[in-house]
Structure 1
Amino acid sequence: MSIEGLISIKSNYGPEETMERLEAAIKATGMTVFARIDHAAAAAAAGMKLRPTNLLIFGSAKGGTPLMQTVQTIGIDLPLKALIWQDEAGATWISYNDLIWLAKRHKAETKSKAAIHAMLIALDAVASTATTARVAPN
């Protein structure tokens, strides 16, 4: 699956456990979780069916503010978001915006290289923690 500007990682866990692991990993880094949006529950309330689809909105002023100081329009894409969803085969995925793509979108790639790099490392780390089984030490 390839959508421009979107990173998708297959999870070793179901949607709910992936969400719990992601939220815990985000909080462990000191970032704030602002909201959880259950799209499937909203669909059910409207009398419609949707496979598990949950959005987590999170971030840190320390990470986002330097980007917005450089190019204020990037604020439309902040705070960060991660979508935890289940495909038609039952696999669970985490998808999130590629920060390099976002920087290019707002023409901030050269002005905010260090901030973008730091945020990308943190985002990749929490997604990996949420989707990958911990290996026990030998």
Structure 2
Amino acid sequence: MAEYGQHPSSVLTLKSAHDFDTTIARVKTLLATAGAVVFADVDQREAAEAAGLTLRRTRLILFGNPKAGTPVMAANPHAAVELPLRLVVWEDDEGHARVDYRDVSQTLGPLYGITPEVLGPLQRVPALIQDAMH
């Protein structure tokens, strides 16, 4: 794989077994099945092109479930800057779809002091995303 730059260890990068559009559809379907709401789907390539720039296919998806996120924000209002959750689907130079997701167990817990009990529902997200990749 080509080098795409450094990223924090809390960012999980997964290679999809599916093309870009199928990966987007599978991610959205699995999130909905798990009770999450997709709040926004931002086509960052389209925004770049509108500004006269080029960018690989890149979509930012903001999602969450108020039943899981509200207890986090109630425990620490500063943690709201991390919510809703987000993931990015992007296409690498070989045409493979990849998904980046920041693991909340490495951010909300240590950075905001959110207890594992409160984080529990959010910690299922990486497994959902992995399921979408297969």
TM-score (norm 2): 0.88
Which one-letter code corresponds to 2:120 in the other structure?
H
Query: Are 1:15 and 1:84, in contact at CA under 8 Å, matched by a contact in 2?
Result: yes
Which residue of 2 is the match for residue 131 of structure 1?
133
Q: Which of 93, 106, 111 is 1:105 aligned to?
A: 111
1:117 and 1:9 map into 2 onto residues whose CA distance is 22
Aligned to 1:136: none
Q: Give, in angstroms, the shift of residue 2 of structure 1.
A: 5.6
CA offsets per residue over residues 7-58 of structure 1, 9 Å max, x none? 1111011111101110011111111110100000111111111111001111
Report the secondary structure of 2:52's partner residue.
Answer: coil
Tell me, yes or no, if the aligned pair for 1:86 and 1:92 is still in contact at 8 Å: yes
Match of 2:46 in 1: 41
Distance 1:34 1:25 in 2: 15
Letter in 1 for 2:130: S
Aligned pairs, number: 128
Q: For structure 1, list consecutive stretches of 5 or more residues without a partner in the other structure.
A: 133-138
| Identical residues among aligned pairs (%) | 27
1:26 maps onto 2:28 in alignment: no
Look up the match of 1:88.
Answer: 93
* In 2: Cα distance, 1:42 partner to 1:2 partner: 23
Give distance in 1, aligned partners of 2:13 and 2:119.
18
The equivalent position to 1:56 in structure 2, one of 44, 61, 66, is 61
Are the aligned partners of 1:6 and 1:98 in contact in 2 as well (CA < 8 Å)? yes
* TM superposition shift of 1:115: 2.6
- What RMSD in Å do the two structures reach over aligned CA positions? 1.4
| Alpha carbons 2:103, 2:126 under 8 Å: kept | no
**Corresponding letter in the other structure for 2:16:** S
Cα distance in 2 between the residues matched to 1:89 and 1:2:
20
